[in-house]
Structure 1
Amino acid sequence: MPTILVVDDSRLVTDIVKMRLEMYGYTVRLAHSGEEALAAIAAEPPDLLVLDVQMPGIDGYEVCRRIREDPALDDLRIIMLTSSDDKRAAFEAGVDDYLNKDIDLLNLPNRVRLVLDME
């Protein structure tokens, strides 16, 4: 089963997302900052990253840009799960999909499956 790294500075959000994805059999790891996410990816790249935008330190856009600049991470899929409404900035940073926390959380497992199946 694919491994998903969930990154959000809110432990409540990461716990909810983790529980939701584990219900579908995914292996879920957590990070609570951009810095933690980059370190976790460097140590053991996941199959997919679920990433918030607004975090202290390195924000989600910068995490995306750094990942997309690394040829070794070409196949890492990224879903931005955020309350931000700036879809354009998210796609320009390199995400594969964009979900709104307030609206799309229930659809997350389906979107994860679709993004993982992308060629």
Structure 2
Amino acid sequence: MAEKILVVDDSKLVTDIVKMRLGMYGYEVRLAHSGEEALKAIEEEVPDLLVLDVHMPGIDGYEVCRRLRDNPALDALRIIMLTSSDDKHAAFEAGVDDYLNKDVDLLNLPNRVKMILEMD
């Protein structure tokens, strides 16, 4: 069974690119375009991994991450922050498992996803 990944970014172009890249590796990818949509999607079905942007209208990626990390039922959920932001410290403080820069690391995303999903 394919691992389930929720990709959250307010840019449809970015979500489409990420979905295409990860889909090529057999992952089942769902999309959300805001923090609110992400939280609702996770309530409906918890993915194995969340790929999350920082800058979104409404609830930003840091707050989404903090809310998820405050829920003990979601301890197994892995989170990769994929963003143009340079604030790695804030991302790890919010509780991400990995941090990738959209401009530099997008091609490496499938490898990092595989690595994070294999973590215990």
The interval holding the TM-score normalised by the smaller chain is over 0.9
Per-residue CA shift, 1:18-60, capped at 9, x if unaligned?
0000000000000000000000001100000000000000000
Aligned partners of 1:37, 1:101: CA distance in 2, in Å?
Answer: 19
Equivalent residue, structure 2, for 1:45? 46
Aligned partners of 2:10, 2:112: CA distance in 1, in Å?
Answer: 22
Percentage of matched positions with identical amino acids: 82
Q: For residue 50 of structure 1, give the secondary structure of its aligned residue in structure 2.
A: strand
Equivalent positions of 1:1-119 (< 5 A) are 1-119=2-120
Q: For residue 105 of structure 1, give the secondary structure of its aligned residue in structure 2.
A: helix
Aligned partners of 2:114, 2:74: CA distance in 1, in Å?
Answer: 19
* 2:32 maps to amino acid: A
Structure 1: any 5+ residue segments left out of the alignment?
none
Structure 1 residue 66, shift from structure 2 partner: 0.2
Aligned partners of 1:90, 1:118: CA distance in 2, in Å?
Answer: 19
Per-residue CA shift, 1:50-104, capped at 9, x if unaligned?
0000000000000000000001100000000000000000000000000000000
Aligned partners of 2:80, 2:73: CA distance in 1, in Å?
Answer: 18
Q: CA RMSD in A?
A: 0.3
TM-score of the two chains, using structure 1 as the length reference: 1.00
* 1:78 maps to amino acid: I
TM-score of the two chains, using structure 2 as the length reference: 0.99
